[in-house]
Amino acid sequence: MAELINLTAEPRVSVGFGVKALRRSGKVPAVIYGHRIAPTHIQLEDREVSNALRKAGRNTLITLNVAGSGPKMVLAREIQRNAIKRTLVHIDFYEVSMNETIRTQIRIILEGVPPEVKAGTGVLLQELPLVDIECLPSQLFNSITLDIANLKIDDVIRIKDLVVPEGVQVHHDPEVEVVRLSRFVETKEEEVVAETSDVEVIEKGKKDEEAADEKKK
């Protein structure tokens, strides 16, 4: 399991009003939602939550301590930022049950460079950058690393070749391609040249039309 991160939060009474003033005071509005629970509106210290999110990936459990209630195990889901300043605007936290499995996506990271790619004779195609998994929250991890340094032309890594921890289910067809190394084929742009016969037909048609006009006269 990835590193556990702790955050402190306060209940947020006013929802929809005074949000700008809240952000100016160094707070970030957020909501906790989950399966079979009512949404809870909270606020967090901007600096503290920003540091926590830098450490946490999509699948890192966060212990969220809300004043007046017990700790909640959550995952950071939708994170909204200002388009220009990139400051935090709003966060959605998903509360998990440690006894119930959840479905999420894991990044696939490629490590190494095949010799054919270095030589320019091969092209690496990553067909699947993310993989869908299901597991208990305690089994969550952020990524799967594939060593592709020794791949050769026409080699393929499929879902069935992925190694995941025991108890983790992968929700994909086992034959789905994740990575393929193909041969580089240079495509040449063909010059389009008008055929002589086409030009002659056009000219002939024009002359025939002129001749028909002369006869009418």
Give yes or no: residues 19 and 46 share one domain.
yes
- The DSSP secondary-structure symbol of 189 reads P
Helix, coil or strand: residue 199: helix
Give yes or no: residues 55 and 113 share one domain.
no
Asked if residue 121 belongs to a domain, the reply is: yes
What's the mean pLDDT in 89-111?
Answer: 95
Q: Which structural domain, as residue segments, surrounds residue 51?
A: 5-95
Question: Tens digit of pLDDT for each residue in 185-206?
Answer: 876 665 555 454 444 444 444 4
pTM: 0.74
pLDDT reading at 62 higher than 70: yes
Give yes or no: residues 133 and 86 share one domain.
no
The pLDDT value recorded for residue 203 is 44
Q: Which of 76, 95, 114 is the last residue of a domain?
A: 95
CATH code for the domain in which residue 152 is found: 2.170.120.20
Q: Which of 66, 95, 124 is the last residue of a domain?
A: 95
Give yes or no: residues 91 and 10 share one domain.
yes
| Amino acid occupying residue 27 | K
Helix, strand, coil percentages for the chain (3-state, nearest 5):
20, 40, 40
pLDDT reading at 4 higher than 80: no
83 sits in which H/E element: none
Q: How many structural domains are present in the chain?
A: 2
